[in-house]
């Protein structure tokens, strides 16, 4: 059982209109695998405690003592506004890494398909960063689809665009479901069968491994549709943010 660790915020950065990246120094960090999460616990002066789970955004780096999360702001939420307001030096408690099912590493074979609903990209960016940092298999096909309300709400957009320019075997696609700019060339609708078939075309026979993360309804709809178009249900891994 992992113990609760007291950790210090070292830096934070807004990575989309409603997602903030927070990097903590964790001296006792045992290391993690891409896709895992931590529990975060806040304790008030009166002793009241609130606890939520947050996926790890950072790449697993041997010996690293820094752990990054990506937190979506819920204005009326209990924990996320508090995390958004932390300043460097502030301390919170975390427990982890947790979760052993929704994980990926470069030694796993086959094409990698990543499908995110909004902040559901957080564990997937850890996988993508791991791929970019360590993979010697530049032949591996990688597809990432991010669904967001608007361009400004696509987390890590700048970083994703950089990967798009520098790694021809990584296909990065977006779909906007509410506000679409006039010059938008990506998808502009909710994820559907035709979209999933188009972005994964040619991959089915190569035994891809697929990770779907986001709100429960999104994850279930996407996973069911992938099965409808022929994906092996055992090759689809899901993480629901609730
Ligand atoms: C494995 C896992 C990984 C996760 N990873 C991430 C991650 O990487 N990034 C991330 O941003 N989130 C992640 N989450 C979600 C996260 O744990 C929280 O659920 C989220 O941050 C909201 O917490 P909160 O305390 O801010 O909001 P809450 O207080 O839990 O409220 C959530 C929403 O419900 C509304 N609400 C609250 N109380 C009520 C009420 N009484 N009636 C009606 N509505 C109400 C709030 O206004 C808000 O919109 C993950 C969840 C899981 C299970």
Q: Are 36 and 9 in contact (CB under 8 A)?
A: no
Mean pLDDT across 207-231: 97
Instruction: Kindly report the pTM of this predicted structure.
Output: 0.96
130, 218: one domain: yes
Q: Give the pLDDT band of residue 94 (cuts 50, 70, 90).
A: very high
DSSP state of 97: E
pLDDT one-digit tens code per residue, 18-27:
999 999 999 9
pLDDT one-digit tens code per residue, 147-201:
999 999 999 999 999 999 999 899 999 999 999 999 999 999 999 999 999 999 9
Q: Is 184 in the pocket of ligand 1 (CB under 6 A)?
A: no
In a domain, 106, yes or no: no
In a domain, 166, yes or no: yes
Among 75, 98, 121, residue at a domain's last position: 98
d(CA 67, CA 232): 33
Work out the mean pLDDT of the chain and round it to a whole number.
96
Q: What CATH number corresponds to the domain at position 35?
A: 2.40.30.10
Q: Give the pLDDT band of residue 139 (cuts 50, 70, 90).
A: confident
CA of 77 to the centre of ligand 1 (A): 6
In a domain, 225, yes or no: yes
Q: pLDDT higher for 89 or 1?
A: 89
171, 55: one domain: no
CA of 65 to the centre of ligand 1 (A): 26
Q: What CATH number corresponds to the domain at position 164?
A: 3.40.50.80
* Probe residue for ligand 1, chosen from 22, 38, 77 as the CB with the greatest number of ligand atoms within 8 Å: 77
68, 126: one domain: no
Instruction: Provide, for the chain, the percentages of residues in helix, strand and coil under a 3-state DSSP scheme, each rounded to the nearest 5.
Output: 25, 35, 40
Q: Give the pLDDT band of residue 63 (cuts 50, 70, 90).
A: confident
Segments forming the whole domain that contains residue 216 = 112-240
According to the model, what pLDDT value does residue 239 have? 98
Q: Ligand 1 atom 7: the closest Cα is on which residue?
A: 54
According to the model, what pLDDT value does residue 135 have? 79
According to the model, what pLDDT value does residue 134 have? 87
In a domain, 27, yes or no: yes
According to the model, what pLDDT value does residue 174 have? 98
134, 203: one domain: yes
pLDDT one-digit tens code per residue, 5-48:
999 999 999 999 999 999 999 999 999 999 999 999 999 999 99
Which is the closest atom of ligand 1 to the Cα of 52? 17
According to the model, what pLDDT value does residue 32 have? 97
SS3 for 3-63, per residue?
CCEEEEEEEEEEEECCEEEEEEECCCCCCCCECCEEEEEEECCCCCEEEEEEEECCCCCCC
93, 199: one domain: no
In a domain, 105, yes or no: no
17, 121: one domain: no
119, 184: one domain: yes
Number of structural domains found in the chain: 2
According to the model, what pLDDT value does residue 1 have? 77
133, 175: one domain: yes
In a domain, 121, yes or no: yes
61, 134: one domain: no
- Of 4, 44, 55, which Cα lies nearest the Cα of 26? 4
The two three-digit tokens of residue 209, written as one number: 């491994």
Among 65, 98, 131, residue at a domain's last position: 98
């Amino acid at each position: 059982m992992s113990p609760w660790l007291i950790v210090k915020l070292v830096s934070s950065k807004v990575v989309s209109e409603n997602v903030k990246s927070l990097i903590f120094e964790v001296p006792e960090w045992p290391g993690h695998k891409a896709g895992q999460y931590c529990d975060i616990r806040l304790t008030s002066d009166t002793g009241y405690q609130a606890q939520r789970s947050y996926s790890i955004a950072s790449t697993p780096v041997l010996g690293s003592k820094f752990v990054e999360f990506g937190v979506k702001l819920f204005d009326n939420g209990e924990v996320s506004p508090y995390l958004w307001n932390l300043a460097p030096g502030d301390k919170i408690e975390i427990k982890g890494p947790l979760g052993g099912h929704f994980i990926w590493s470069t030694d796993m074979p086959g094409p990698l398909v990543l499908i995110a609903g909004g902040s559901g990209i957080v564990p997937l960016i850890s996988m993508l960063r791991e791929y970019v940092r360590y993979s010697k298999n530049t032949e591996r096909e990688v597809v990432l689809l991010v669904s967001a309300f608007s361009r400004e709400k696509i987390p890590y957009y700048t970083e994703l665009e950089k990967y798009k320019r520098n790694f021809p075997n990584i296909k990065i696609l977006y779909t906007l479901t509410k506000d679409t700019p006039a010059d938008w060339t990506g998808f502009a609708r909710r994820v559907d069968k035709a979209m999933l078939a188009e972005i994964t075309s040619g991959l089915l026979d190569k035994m891809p491994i697929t990770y779907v993360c986001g709100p429960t309804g999104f994850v279930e709809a996407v996973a069911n549709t992938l099965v409808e178009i022929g994906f092996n249900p055992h090759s689809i891994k899901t993480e629901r943010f609730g």
